[in-house]
Structure 1
Amino acid sequence: MAKHTTIELNDDQPFNLDLTLSCGQAPRWYKGNGWWYGIVRDSVLKIKQDENKILFIGSDEEFIRDYFCLDFDLDPVYSKLKQDPYAKDACDFGKGLRLVNQDPWECMIFQMTVNRIRTKSRCDRITRISDKIGKKIIFEGKEYSIFPRPKEITDAGLSALKSCNIGYFADNILFAAEKVGDNPDWEEKIKKMSYQNAVFYLTSFKGIKYRVAEWILLFSFQKYEAFPVDAHIREIFIKNYLKGHYFGKLNDEKVDDAIRDIARVNFGQYAGYALEYLFNYEIIQNSGNR
Protein backbone atom coordinates (compact mmCIF):
# COMPACT_ATOMS: atom_id res chain seq x y z
CA MET A 1 0.00 0.00 0.00
CA ALA A 2 1.31 3.45 -0.91
CA LYS A 3 2.49 5.70 1.89
CA HIS A 4 0.26 8.70 2.56
CA THR A 5 1.34 12.34 2.49
CA THR A 6 0.39 14.72 5.30
CA ILE A 7 -0.59 18.38 5.22
CA GLU A 8 -0.58 20.38 8.45
CA LEU A 9 -3.54 22.76 8.49
CA ASN A 10 -3.29 26.35 9.70
CA ASP A 11 -5.07 26.83 13.02
CA ASP A 12 -6.60 30.13 11.85
CA GLN A 13 -8.12 28.64 8.67
CA PRO A 14 -10.82 26.06 9.45
CA PHE A 15 -11.33 23.03 7.24
CA ASN A 16 -13.78 20.18 7.68
CA LEU A 17 -13.26 17.44 5.10
CA ASP A 18 -16.41 15.49 5.99
CA LEU A 19 -18.68 18.51 5.59
CA THR A 20 -16.95 19.57 2.40
CA LEU A 21 -17.38 16.21 0.70
CA SER A 22 -20.75 15.16 2.10
CA CYS A 23 -22.76 18.23 1.04
CA GLY A 24 -23.16 17.10 -2.58
CA GLN A 25 -21.21 19.83 -4.35
CA ALA A 26 -18.85 17.44 -6.18
CA PRO A 27 -19.60 14.08 -7.81
CA ARG A 28 -18.03 10.67 -7.30
CA TRP A 29 -16.85 10.91 -3.72
CA TYR A 30 -17.70 8.23 -1.18
CA LYS A 31 -16.48 7.31 2.28
CA GLY A 32 -15.29 3.89 3.37
CA ASN A 33 -13.25 2.63 6.31
CA GLY A 34 -12.66 6.15 7.54
CA TRP A 35 -11.25 7.40 4.21
CA TRP A 36 -12.84 9.43 1.43
CA TYR A 37 -12.29 8.11 -2.11
CA GLY A 38 -12.78 10.37 -5.11
CA ILE A 39 -12.13 10.37 -8.84
CA VAL A 40 -10.92 13.79 -9.92
CA ARG A 41 -9.82 14.36 -13.49
CA ASP A 42 -7.35 11.49 -14.17
CA SER A 43 -6.60 10.47 -10.59
CA VAL A 44 -8.12 8.48 -7.76
CA LEU A 45 -7.71 10.28 -4.45
CA LYS A 46 -7.84 8.75 -0.99
CA ILE A 47 -8.02 11.27 1.82
CA LYS A 48 -9.00 11.70 5.44
CA GLN A 49 -8.68 14.28 8.20
CA ASP A 50 -7.16 13.73 11.62
CA GLU A 51 -7.82 16.91 13.60
CA ASN A 52 -5.50 19.52 12.05
CA LYS A 53 -3.88 17.11 9.59
CA ILE A 54 -4.91 15.98 6.13
CA LEU A 55 -3.64 12.55 5.09
CA PHE A 56 -3.89 11.62 1.42
CA ILE A 57 -2.73 9.28 -1.34
CA GLY A 58 -3.02 9.67 -5.10
CA SER A 59 -1.81 13.21 -5.73
CA ASP A 60 0.59 15.87 -4.49
CA GLU A 61 0.19 18.63 -1.93
CA GLU A 62 -0.18 21.38 -4.53
CA PHE A 63 -3.17 19.64 -6.10
CA ILE A 64 -4.86 18.96 -2.75
CA ARG A 65 -4.41 22.58 -1.67
CA ASP A 66 -5.81 23.81 -4.96
CA TYR A 67 -8.74 21.38 -5.12
CA PHE A 68 -9.89 22.00 -1.55
CA CYS A 69 -8.98 25.73 -1.68
CA LEU A 70 -7.02 25.33 1.55
CA ASP A 71 -5.30 28.68 1.09
CA PHE A 72 -8.54 30.59 0.53
CA ASP A 73 -9.21 32.92 3.46
CA LEU A 74 -12.57 32.08 5.02
CA ASP A 75 -12.48 34.97 7.51
CA PRO A 76 -14.04 37.55 5.12
CA VAL A 77 -16.70 34.97 4.21
CA TYR A 78 -17.64 34.41 7.85
CA SER A 79 -17.51 38.14 8.62
CA LYS A 80 -20.03 38.80 5.87
CA LEU A 81 -22.32 35.83 6.44
CA LYS A 82 -22.46 36.25 10.23
CA GLN A 83 -24.08 39.66 9.80
CA ASP A 84 -27.19 37.64 8.90
CA PRO A 85 -28.63 35.81 11.97
CA TYR A 86 -29.73 32.68 10.13
CA ALA A 87 -26.54 32.45 8.07
CA LYS A 88 -24.56 32.91 11.29
CA ASP A 89 -26.16 29.75 12.67
CA ALA A 90 -25.36 27.98 9.41
CA CYS A 91 -21.71 29.07 9.63
CA ASP A 92 -21.41 27.86 13.21
CA PHE A 93 -22.99 24.53 12.27
CA GLY A 94 -20.85 24.03 9.17
CA LYS A 95 -17.57 25.60 10.21
CA GLY A 96 -14.77 24.52 7.90
CA LEU A 97 -16.94 23.61 4.91
CA ARG A 98 -15.14 24.80 1.77
CA LEU A 99 -16.22 25.01 -1.84
CA VAL A 100 -13.90 22.78 -3.84
CA ASN A 101 -12.21 23.79 -7.08
CA GLN A 102 -13.71 21.35 -9.58
CA ASP A 103 -12.42 20.59 -13.06
CA PRO A 104 -14.52 22.84 -15.37
CA TRP A 105 -15.19 20.15 -17.97
CA GLU A 106 -16.32 17.55 -15.44
CA CYS A 107 -18.32 20.15 -13.54
CA MET A 108 -20.07 21.30 -16.72
CA ILE A 109 -21.25 17.83 -17.63
CA PHE A 110 -22.22 16.94 -14.07
CA GLN A 111 -24.29 20.11 -13.68
CA MET A 112 -25.93 19.52 -17.07
CA THR A 113 -27.04 16.04 -16.07
CA VAL A 114 -27.51 16.05 -12.29
CA ASN A 115 -31.07 15.82 -11.05
CA ARG A 116 -30.98 18.44 -8.24
CA ILE A 117 -31.64 15.99 -5.46
CA ARG A 118 -27.86 15.74 -5.09
CA THR A 119 -27.64 12.13 -6.13
CA LYS A 120 -25.29 9.67 -4.53
CA SER A 121 -21.99 9.46 -6.33
CA ARG A 122 -22.31 5.88 -7.53
CA CYS A 123 -25.69 6.45 -9.18
CA ASP A 124 -25.33 9.60 -11.29
CA ARG A 125 -25.06 9.89 -15.04
CA ILE A 126 -21.47 11.08 -15.03
CA THR A 127 -20.51 7.76 -13.44
CA ARG A 128 -22.38 5.79 -16.11
CA ILE A 129 -20.55 7.72 -18.84
CA SER A 130 -17.22 7.12 -17.12
CA ASP A 131 -17.86 3.40 -16.75
CA LYS A 132 -18.80 3.05 -20.43
CA ILE A 133 -16.35 5.38 -22.19
CA GLY A 134 -13.68 6.45 -19.72
CA LYS A 135 -10.23 5.02 -19.25
CA LYS A 136 -9.70 2.56 -16.42
CA ILE A 137 -7.27 3.01 -13.57
CA ILE A 138 -6.31 0.54 -10.84
CA PHE A 139 -5.97 1.97 -7.36
CA GLU A 140 -5.25 -0.27 -4.37
CA GLY A 141 -6.34 -3.29 -6.37
CA LYS A 142 -9.70 -1.83 -7.44
CA GLU A 143 -10.71 -0.58 -10.89
CA TYR A 144 -12.01 2.96 -11.30
CA SER A 145 -13.27 4.80 -14.37
CA ILE A 146 -11.96 8.24 -15.37
CA PHE A 147 -14.46 10.70 -16.81
CA PRO A 148 -13.64 11.05 -20.53
CA ARG A 149 -12.17 14.28 -21.86
CA PRO A 150 -13.96 16.06 -24.74
CA LYS A 151 -11.95 14.38 -27.53
CA GLU A 152 -12.58 10.96 -26.06
CA ILE A 153 -16.31 11.67 -26.18
CA THR A 154 -16.28 12.97 -29.74
CA ASP A 155 -14.18 9.97 -30.80
CA ALA A 156 -16.64 7.60 -29.11
CA GLY A 157 -19.60 9.26 -30.82
CA LEU A 158 -23.30 9.65 -30.11
CA SER A 159 -24.15 5.95 -30.12
CA ALA A 160 -21.66 5.28 -27.33
CA LEU A 161 -23.14 8.09 -25.26
CA LYS A 162 -26.67 6.83 -25.82
CA SER A 163 -25.60 3.39 -24.64
CA CYS A 164 -24.88 4.97 -21.23
CA ASN A 165 -28.63 5.20 -20.55
CA ILE A 166 -28.61 8.99 -20.23
CA GLY A 167 -31.46 9.85 -22.61
CA TYR A 168 -31.48 13.24 -24.32
CA PHE A 169 -28.39 14.29 -22.38
CA ALA A 170 -26.32 12.35 -24.92
CA ASP A 171 -26.94 14.97 -27.63
CA ASN A 172 -26.17 17.85 -25.27
CA ILE A 173 -22.94 16.27 -24.05
CA LEU A 174 -21.70 15.56 -27.56
CA PHE A 175 -22.45 19.17 -28.54
CA ALA A 176 -20.51 20.40 -25.50
CA ALA A 177 -17.55 18.15 -26.31
CA GLU A 178 -17.46 19.39 -29.88
CA LYS A 179 -17.71 23.04 -28.85
CA VAL A 180 -14.98 22.69 -26.21
CA GLY A 181 -12.82 20.89 -28.77
CA ASP A 182 -13.24 23.82 -31.16
CA ASN A 183 -12.44 26.30 -28.36
CA PRO A 184 -9.51 24.86 -26.39
CA ASP A 185 -9.02 28.12 -24.48
CA TRP A 186 -12.62 28.24 -23.26
CA GLU A 187 -11.66 27.98 -19.58
CA GLU A 188 -9.25 30.89 -19.74
CA LYS A 189 -11.83 32.97 -21.61
CA ILE A 190 -14.42 32.41 -18.88
CA LYS A 191 -11.94 33.24 -16.11
CA LYS A 192 -11.38 36.65 -17.68
CA MET A 193 -15.06 37.40 -18.27
CA SER A 194 -17.41 39.36 -16.08
CA TYR A 195 -19.99 37.27 -14.27
CA GLN A 196 -22.85 38.06 -16.64
CA ASN A 197 -20.71 37.54 -19.75
CA ALA A 198 -19.59 34.19 -18.37
CA VAL A 199 -23.22 33.17 -17.82
CA PHE A 200 -24.08 34.29 -21.35
CA TYR A 201 -21.18 32.27 -22.80
CA LEU A 202 -22.10 29.09 -20.94
CA THR A 203 -25.77 29.32 -21.89
CA SER A 204 -24.68 29.19 -25.54
CA PHE A 205 -24.03 25.47 -24.90
CA LYS A 206 -26.99 23.26 -25.71
CA GLY A 207 -28.67 22.14 -22.49
CA ILE A 208 -27.13 24.77 -20.21
CA LYS A 209 -29.74 27.11 -18.80
CA TYR A 210 -29.05 30.18 -16.68
CA ARG A 211 -29.13 28.35 -13.35
CA VAL A 212 -26.89 25.54 -14.61
CA ALA A 213 -24.38 28.14 -15.80
CA GLU A 214 -24.43 29.65 -12.31
CA TRP A 215 -23.64 26.28 -10.71
CA ILE A 216 -20.70 25.80 -13.08
CA LEU A 217 -19.31 29.27 -12.33
CA LEU A 218 -19.67 28.72 -8.59
CA PHE A 219 -18.09 25.29 -8.38
CA SER A 220 -15.34 25.43 -11.02
CA PHE A 221 -14.51 29.10 -11.62
CA GLN A 222 -14.66 30.43 -8.03
CA LYS A 223 -17.20 33.09 -8.95
CA TYR A 224 -18.58 33.13 -5.44
CA GLU A 225 -21.16 35.81 -6.17
CA ALA A 226 -23.20 33.12 -7.97
CA PHE A 227 -26.47 32.18 -6.27
CA PRO A 228 -28.33 29.55 -8.31
CA VAL A 229 -31.79 29.07 -6.84
CA ASP A 230 -33.08 25.51 -6.88
CA ALA A 231 -35.98 23.88 -5.06
CA HIS A 232 -33.91 23.37 -1.90
CA ILE A 233 -32.81 27.00 -1.68
CA ARG A 234 -36.31 28.24 -2.54
CA GLU A 235 -37.76 26.21 0.34
CA ILE A 236 -35.09 27.49 2.75
CA PHE A 237 -35.71 31.13 1.86
CA ILE A 238 -39.49 30.91 1.91
CA LYS A 239 -39.27 29.35 5.36
CA ASN A 240 -36.64 31.64 6.88
CA TYR A 241 -36.52 34.89 4.91
CA LEU A 242 -39.88 35.39 3.21
CA LYS A 243 -42.36 34.66 5.98
CA GLY A 244 -45.48 36.70 5.41
CA HIS A 245 -44.29 37.92 2.03
CA TYR A 246 -47.15 37.98 -0.47
CA PHE A 247 -46.34 37.38 -4.14
CA GLY A 248 -49.87 37.28 -5.48
CA LYS A 249 -50.25 34.26 -7.71
CA LEU A 250 -47.32 32.00 -6.72
CA ASN A 251 -44.71 32.02 -9.41
CA ASP A 252 -41.29 30.40 -9.00
CA GLU A 253 -39.59 33.01 -11.16
CA LYS A 254 -40.99 35.84 -9.07
CA VAL A 255 -39.99 34.10 -5.85
CA ASP A 256 -36.52 33.33 -7.20
CA ASP A 257 -35.95 36.98 -8.15
CA ALA A 258 -36.83 38.01 -4.59
CA ILE A 259 -34.47 35.36 -3.20
CA ARG A 260 -31.59 36.56 -5.39
CA ASP A 261 -32.21 40.13 -4.24
CA ILE A 262 -32.00 39.06 -0.60
CA ALA A 263 -28.84 37.03 -1.25
CA ARG A 264 -27.22 39.94 -3.09
CA VAL A 265 -27.95 42.36 -0.26
CA ASN A 266 -27.18 40.01 2.64
CA PHE A 267 -24.19 38.10 1.28
CA GLY A 268 -22.71 40.10 -1.59
CA GLN A 269 -19.65 38.57 -3.23
CA TYR A 270 -19.92 35.49 -0.99
CA ALA A 271 -23.52 34.59 -1.87
CA GLY A 272 -22.43 31.21 -3.26
CA TYR A 273 -20.75 30.32 0.02
CA ALA A 274 -23.91 31.35 1.86
CA LEU A 275 -25.92 29.05 -0.41
CA GLU A 276 -23.82 26.00 0.43
CA TYR A 277 -23.77 26.74 4.17
CA LEU A 278 -27.52 27.29 4.24
CA PHE A 279 -28.11 24.07 2.31
CA ASN A 280 -25.82 22.14 4.64
CA TYR A 281 -27.47 23.61 7.73
CA GLU A 282 -31.08 23.12 6.70
CA ILE A 283 -31.10 19.98 4.57
CA ILE A 284 -28.29 17.96 6.12
CA GLN A 285 -29.29 18.83 9.67
CA ASN A 286 -32.94 17.99 9.15
CA SER A 287 -32.17 14.73 7.35
CA GLY A 288 -29.87 13.60 10.15
CA ASN A 289 -27.05 12.87 7.69
CA ARG A 290 -24.40 14.91 9.36
Structure 2
Amino acid sequence: MKTITPSQFDLEQIADSGQCFRWNRISDYKYRIVAFGKILNIEQDLETGSVTMDCSDSDFDNIWKDYFDLGTDYGKIIERIPEDDEYLKRAASICDGIRIIKQDPWETLITFIISQRKNIPAIKASVEKICKAAGKVIGEIDGEKLYAFPTPKELAALSESDLSACSLGYRAAYIYKAAHAVADGAVDLDKWKELSDDKLFDSLCSLYGVGKKVANCTMLFGFNRLDSFPIDVWMNKIRDRYYPNDFPIEAYRPYGGIMQQYMFAYERSINS
Protein backbone atom coordinates (compact mmCIF):
# COMPACT_ATOMS: atom_id res chain seq x y z
CA MET A 1 0.00 0.00 0.00
CA LYS A 2 1.12 3.53 -0.72
CA THR A 3 -0.39 6.61 0.94
CA ILE A 4 0.35 10.17 -0.14
CA THR A 5 -1.23 13.59 0.43
CA PRO A 6 -0.86 15.52 -2.83
CA SER A 7 -2.08 19.06 -3.38
CA GLN A 8 -4.55 19.92 -6.15
CA PHE A 9 -5.70 16.29 -6.39
CA ASP A 10 -9.34 15.24 -6.36
CA LEU A 11 -10.08 11.69 -7.51
CA GLU A 12 -13.70 12.39 -8.35
CA GLN A 13 -12.88 15.49 -10.38
CA ILE A 14 -10.24 13.60 -12.37
CA ALA A 15 -12.55 10.61 -12.90
CA ASP A 16 -15.36 12.83 -14.17
CA SER A 17 -13.18 15.02 -16.39
CA GLY A 18 -13.53 12.88 -19.53
CA GLN A 19 -9.81 12.19 -19.87
CA CYS A 20 -9.78 8.45 -19.33
CA PHE A 21 -12.24 5.62 -19.83
CA ARG A 22 -10.88 2.77 -17.72
CA TRP A 23 -11.61 4.22 -14.30
CA ASN A 24 -14.49 2.46 -12.53
CA ARG A 25 -16.05 3.73 -9.33
CA ILE A 26 -16.09 1.10 -6.59
CA SER A 27 -17.64 3.37 -3.97
CA ASP A 28 -17.53 7.06 -3.02
CA TYR A 29 -14.00 8.32 -3.71
CA LYS A 30 -12.70 4.82 -4.44
CA TYR A 31 -11.85 3.71 -7.97
CA ARG A 32 -10.34 0.80 -9.85
CA ILE A 33 -8.01 1.87 -12.65
CA VAL A 34 -6.62 -0.32 -15.41
CA ALA A 35 -3.59 1.20 -17.14
CA PHE A 36 -0.24 0.06 -18.50
CA GLY A 37 -1.21 -3.57 -17.95
CA LYS A 38 -1.75 -2.97 -14.22
CA ILE A 39 -4.76 -2.84 -11.93
CA LEU A 40 -4.82 -0.13 -9.27
CA ASN A 41 -7.36 0.37 -6.51
CA ILE A 42 -7.18 3.93 -5.25
CA GLU A 43 -9.14 5.75 -2.54
CA GLN A 44 -9.14 9.30 -1.21
CA ASP A 45 -9.98 10.45 2.31
CA LEU A 46 -12.08 13.58 1.96
CA GLU A 47 -11.14 14.96 5.37
CA THR A 48 -7.38 14.76 4.99
CA GLY A 49 -7.05 14.65 1.20
CA SER A 50 -4.75 11.65 1.55
CA VAL A 51 -4.75 9.07 -1.24
CA THR A 52 -4.14 5.36 -0.71
CA MET A 53 -3.12 3.05 -3.55
CA ASP A 54 -2.78 -0.74 -3.37
CA CYS A 55 0.57 -0.79 -5.16
CA SER A 56 4.18 -1.42 -4.31
CA ASP A 57 6.67 1.40 -3.82
CA SER A 58 8.33 0.27 -7.04
CA ASP A 59 5.13 0.50 -9.10
CA PHE A 60 4.32 3.86 -7.54
CA ASP A 61 7.74 5.24 -8.47
CA ASN A 62 7.84 3.69 -11.94
CA ILE A 63 4.21 4.01 -13.05
CA TRP A 64 1.68 5.81 -10.89
CA LYS A 65 3.69 8.84 -9.78
CA ASP A 66 4.13 9.87 -13.39
CA TYR A 67 0.65 8.71 -14.43
CA PHE A 68 -0.94 11.14 -11.98
CA ASP A 69 1.59 13.86 -12.89
CA LEU A 70 2.55 14.24 -9.23
CA GLY A 71 5.78 16.00 -10.12
CA THR A 72 3.93 19.06 -11.43
CA ASP A 73 2.89 21.93 -9.14
CA TYR A 74 -0.63 22.71 -10.33
CA GLY A 75 -0.93 25.48 -7.74
CA LYS A 76 1.71 27.47 -9.60
CA ILE A 77 -0.10 26.86 -12.87
CA ILE A 78 -3.32 28.24 -11.41
CA GLU A 79 -1.41 31.34 -10.28
CA ARG A 80 -0.65 32.05 -13.96
CA ILE A 81 -4.31 32.65 -14.82
CA PRO A 82 -4.72 36.26 -16.02
CA GLU A 83 -6.24 38.51 -13.36
CA ASP A 84 -8.99 39.73 -15.67
CA ASP A 85 -10.09 36.21 -16.69
CA GLU A 86 -12.86 35.96 -14.10
CA TYR A 87 -14.54 32.91 -15.59
CA LEU A 88 -11.34 30.84 -15.67
CA LYS A 89 -10.38 31.94 -12.16
CA ARG A 90 -13.76 30.78 -10.90
CA ALA A 91 -13.51 27.48 -12.80
CA ALA A 92 -10.01 26.77 -11.48
CA SER A 93 -10.99 27.57 -7.89
CA ILE A 94 -13.83 25.03 -8.07
CA CYS A 95 -12.09 22.36 -10.15
CA ASP A 96 -8.53 22.68 -8.89
CA GLY A 97 -8.33 18.96 -8.10
CA ILE A 98 -8.00 18.05 -11.77
CA ARG A 99 -4.67 16.83 -13.09
CA ILE A 100 -3.78 15.80 -16.63
CA ILE A 101 -3.33 12.04 -16.54
CA LYS A 102 -0.32 10.80 -18.50
CA GLN A 103 -1.76 7.95 -20.51
CA ASP A 104 -0.34 5.60 -23.11
CA PRO A 105 -0.44 7.36 -26.52
CA TRP A 106 -1.73 4.28 -28.34
CA GLU A 107 -4.57 3.66 -25.90
CA THR A 108 -5.44 7.36 -25.86
CA LEU A 109 -5.58 7.54 -29.65
CA ILE A 110 -7.94 4.58 -29.94
CA THR A 111 -10.20 5.55 -27.04
CA PHE A 112 -10.65 9.07 -28.36
CA ILE A 113 -11.40 7.75 -31.84
CA ILE A 114 -14.11 5.71 -30.13
CA SER A 115 -15.30 8.79 -28.22
CA GLN A 116 -16.61 10.57 -31.32
CA ARG A 117 -20.36 11.21 -30.94
CA LYS A 118 -20.63 8.85 -27.97
CA ASN A 119 -21.43 9.59 -24.34
CA ILE A 120 -19.02 8.44 -21.64
CA PRO A 121 -20.91 5.27 -20.57
CA ALA A 122 -21.07 4.16 -24.23
CA ILE A 123 -17.39 4.93 -24.75
CA LYS A 124 -16.40 2.91 -21.68
CA ALA A 125 -18.57 0.00 -22.78
CA SER A 126 -16.95 -0.11 -26.23
CA VAL A 127 -13.46 0.18 -24.76
CA GLU A 128 -14.09 -2.78 -22.46
CA LYS A 129 -15.46 -4.80 -25.38
CA ILE A 130 -12.31 -4.32 -27.47
CA CYS A 131 -10.16 -5.12 -24.43
CA LYS A 132 -12.11 -8.34 -23.89
CA ALA A 133 -11.95 -9.16 -27.61
CA ALA A 134 -8.20 -8.66 -28.03
CA GLY A 135 -6.43 -7.84 -24.75
CA LYS A 136 -4.69 -10.19 -22.33
CA VAL A 137 -6.23 -11.15 -18.99
CA ILE A 138 -4.31 -9.37 -16.22
CA GLY A 139 -6.45 -10.23 -13.22
CA GLU A 140 -9.75 -11.42 -11.87
CA ILE A 141 -11.84 -9.72 -9.18
CA ASP A 142 -15.06 -11.21 -7.80
CA GLY A 143 -15.21 -13.62 -10.74
CA GLU A 144 -14.79 -10.86 -13.31
CA LYS A 145 -11.77 -11.01 -15.58
CA LEU A 146 -9.91 -7.77 -16.21
CA TYR A 147 -8.10 -7.18 -19.48
CA ALA A 148 -5.16 -5.05 -20.55
CA PHE A 149 -5.70 -2.65 -23.41
CA PRO A 150 -4.74 -4.51 -26.60
CA THR A 151 -1.46 -3.75 -28.30
CA PRO A 152 -1.54 -2.57 -31.93
CA LYS A 153 -0.79 -6.11 -33.15
CA GLU A 154 -3.48 -7.62 -30.94
CA LEU A 155 -6.04 -5.10 -32.15
CA ALA A 156 -4.95 -5.48 -35.77
CA ALA A 157 -5.67 -9.20 -35.49
CA LEU A 158 -9.38 -8.36 -35.29
CA SER A 159 -11.41 -8.00 -38.46
CA GLU A 160 -13.65 -5.00 -39.10
CA SER A 161 -16.55 -7.29 -38.33
CA ASP A 162 -15.00 -8.19 -34.96
CA LEU A 163 -14.56 -4.49 -34.22
CA SER A 164 -18.11 -3.69 -35.29
CA ALA A 165 -19.30 -6.24 -32.73
CA CYS A 166 -17.78 -3.97 -30.06
CA SER A 167 -20.49 -1.36 -30.70
CA LEU A 168 -18.11 0.87 -32.64
CA GLY A 169 -20.34 1.68 -35.61
CA TYR A 170 -18.55 3.69 -38.30
CA ARG A 171 -15.55 4.01 -35.97
CA ALA A 172 -14.65 0.36 -36.59
CA ALA A 173 -13.06 1.28 -39.93
CA TYR A 174 -11.06 4.07 -38.31
CA ILE A 175 -9.71 1.77 -35.61
CA TYR A 176 -9.00 -1.04 -38.06
CA LYS A 177 -6.83 1.24 -40.20
CA ALA A 178 -5.09 2.84 -37.19
CA ALA A 179 -4.26 -0.56 -35.72
CA HIS A 180 -2.77 -1.78 -38.98
CA ALA A 181 -0.83 1.45 -39.54
CA VAL A 182 0.86 1.13 -36.15
CA ALA A 183 1.22 -2.67 -36.16
CA ASP A 184 2.74 -2.65 -39.67
CA GLY A 185 5.20 0.12 -38.77
CA ALA A 186 3.81 2.80 -41.05
CA VAL A 187 3.17 4.88 -37.93
CA ASP A 188 5.68 4.95 -35.06
CA LEU A 189 4.06 6.58 -32.06
CA ASP A 190 7.33 6.48 -30.11
CA LYS A 191 8.98 8.61 -32.79
CA TRP A 192 5.97 10.90 -32.81
CA LYS A 193 6.80 11.76 -29.19
CA GLU A 194 9.79 13.69 -30.53
CA LEU A 195 7.75 15.83 -32.94
CA SER A 196 6.90 19.47 -32.34
CA ASP A 197 3.32 20.21 -31.33
CA ASP A 198 2.43 21.40 -34.82
CA LYS A 199 3.96 18.37 -36.54
CA LEU A 200 2.39 15.99 -34.05
CA PHE A 201 -1.02 17.56 -34.64
CA ASP A 202 -0.64 17.26 -38.41
CA SER A 203 0.55 13.66 -38.10
CA LEU A 204 -2.42 12.67 -35.96
CA CYS A 205 -4.84 14.41 -38.33
CA SER A 206 -3.33 12.42 -41.22
CA LEU A 207 -4.77 9.24 -39.71
CA TYR A 208 -8.06 8.05 -41.16
CA GLY A 209 -10.94 9.21 -38.97
CA VAL A 210 -8.91 11.58 -36.77
CA GLY A 211 -10.08 15.18 -36.74
CA LYS A 212 -9.00 18.23 -34.78
CA LYS A 213 -10.72 17.35 -31.52
CA VAL A 214 -9.43 13.75 -31.40
CA ALA A 215 -5.94 14.95 -32.33
CA ASN A 216 -5.91 17.60 -29.59
CA CYS A 217 -7.26 15.19 -26.98
CA THR A 218 -4.66 12.57 -27.95
CA MET A 219 -1.92 15.18 -27.74
CA LEU A 220 -3.07 16.43 -24.33
CA PHE A 221 -3.86 13.14 -22.61
CA GLY A 222 -1.58 10.73 -24.47
CA PHE A 223 1.47 12.80 -25.38
CA ASN A 224 1.25 15.23 -22.42
CA ARG A 225 1.29 18.26 -24.70
CA LEU A 226 -0.14 20.57 -22.08
CA ASP A 227 -0.80 23.44 -24.47
CA SER A 228 -3.27 21.47 -26.59
CA PHE A 229 -6.71 23.04 -26.31
CA PRO A 230 -9.51 20.69 -27.46
CA ILE A 231 -12.71 22.37 -28.65
CA ASP A 232 -16.04 20.58 -28.35
CA VAL A 233 -19.69 21.50 -27.82
CA TRP A 234 -19.06 22.50 -24.19
CA MET A 235 -16.11 24.70 -25.08
CA ASN A 236 -18.07 26.35 -27.88
CA LYS A 237 -20.80 27.21 -25.37
CA ILE A 238 -18.24 28.66 -22.99
CA ARG A 239 -16.65 30.74 -25.74
CA ASP A 240 -19.98 32.08 -26.96
CA ARG A 241 -21.13 32.99 -23.46
CA TYR A 242 -17.97 34.26 -21.77
CA TYR A 243 -15.35 34.94 -24.46
CA PRO A 244 -16.97 36.95 -27.28
CA ASN A 245 -13.54 37.72 -28.72
CA ASP A 246 -12.44 34.06 -28.52
CA PHE A 247 -10.28 32.37 -25.89
CA PRO A 248 -7.05 34.24 -25.09
CA ILE A 249 -4.97 31.16 -25.93
CA GLU A 250 -1.68 33.08 -25.90
CA ALA A 251 -2.26 34.07 -22.26
CA TYR A 252 -2.73 30.41 -21.26
CA ARG A 253 0.51 29.09 -22.75
CA PRO A 254 2.19 26.73 -22.09
CA TYR A 255 -0.71 25.24 -20.09
CA GLY A 256 -3.70 25.78 -22.35
CA GLY A 257 -4.85 22.19 -21.96
CA ILE A 258 -4.99 22.46 -18.19
CA MET A 259 -6.96 25.70 -18.43
CA GLN A 260 -9.33 23.98 -20.87
CA GLN A 261 -9.91 21.17 -18.39
CA TYR A 262 -10.86 23.59 -15.62
CA MET A 263 -13.37 25.29 -17.92
CA PHE A 264 -14.75 22.04 -19.30
CA ALA A 265 -15.23 20.47 -15.86
CA TYR A 266 -16.69 23.60 -14.31
CA GLU A 267 -19.22 24.20 -17.07
CA ARG A 268 -20.40 20.60 -16.96
CA SER A 269 -20.73 20.76 -13.18
CA ILE A 270 -22.96 23.83 -13.20
CA ASN A 271 -25.11 22.50 -16.04
CA SER A 272 -25.52 18.91 -14.89
Matched residue of 2:193: which SS? Answer: helix
What is the 5 A alignment of 1:248-259? 259=246
SS of the residue aligned with 1:7?
A: strand
Alignment partner, residue 174 of structure 1? 176
Instruction: Using the TM superposition, give the Cα deviation of residue 117 of structure 1 relative to its aligned residue in structure 2, in angstroms.
Output: 5.9
User: Are the equivalent residues in 2 in contact too, given 1:121–1:127 (CA < 8 A)?
Assistant: no
Q: Compute the displacement of 1:231 (Å).
A: 0.6
* 1:281 corresponding residue in structure 2: 266
Deviation at 1:177, TM superposition (A): 1.1
Compared with structure 1, are the counterparts of its residues 210 and 117 closer, same or farther at alpha carbon in structure 2 (3 Å cutoff)?
same
3-state DSSP of counterpart to 1:64: helix
Equivalent residue number for residue 61 of structure 1: 60
Structure-1 separation of matches of 2:20 and 2:256: 18
Is the partner of 1:120 in helix, strand or coil?
Answer: helix
The two structures have a TM-score, normalised by structure 1, of: 0.83
Worse-matched range after superposition: 97-106 or 174-183: 174-183
Gaps of 5+ in 1: 243-257
Residue 267 (structure 1) aligned with residue 252 (structure 2) = yes
- For residues 90-109 of structure 1, what are the structure 2 equivalents within 5 Å? 90-109=91-110
Counterpart Cα distance in 1 of 2:250 and 2:158: 47
Name the amino acid aligned to 1:216: T
Instruction: Give the corresponding residue for 2:236.
Output: 234
Alignment of 1:145 with 2:147, yes or no, is yes
Q: TM-score, normalised by structure 2?
A: 0.88
Q: Out of 211, 218, 222, which is 2:224 matched to?
A: 222
Is 1:39 aligned to 2:24, yes or no? no
> What CA deviation, in whole Å up to 9, does each residue of 1:100-138 have, x standing for no partner?
011111110111110356512774422221233322333
The CA distance in 1 between the partners of 2:185 and 2:77, in whole Å, is 34
Give the match's secondary structure for 2:41: strand
**Cross-structure match for 2:43:** 48
Q: Write the mapping of 1:158-173 to structure 2, written as runs, cut at 5 A.
A: 158-173=160-175
CA RMSD of aligned residues (A): 2.2
- Aligned equivalent of 2:213: 211
1:192 to 2:187 alignment: no
Q: 1:133 to 1:170 in 2, by over 3 A?
A: same
The residue aligned with 1:74 is 74
CA spacing shift, 1:145–1:157, aligned 2, 3 Å: same
Equivalent pairs counted in the alignment come to 264
Contact 1:130 / 1:148 at 8 angstroms: preserved in 2?
Answer: yes
Q: Which runs of 5+ in 2 are unaligned?
A: none
Q: Show the counterpart of 1:136.
A: 137
1:145-166 CA-to-partner distances (Å, cap 9, x unmatched) read 3221111112233332222231
Query: Percent identical across equivalent pairs?
Result: 28
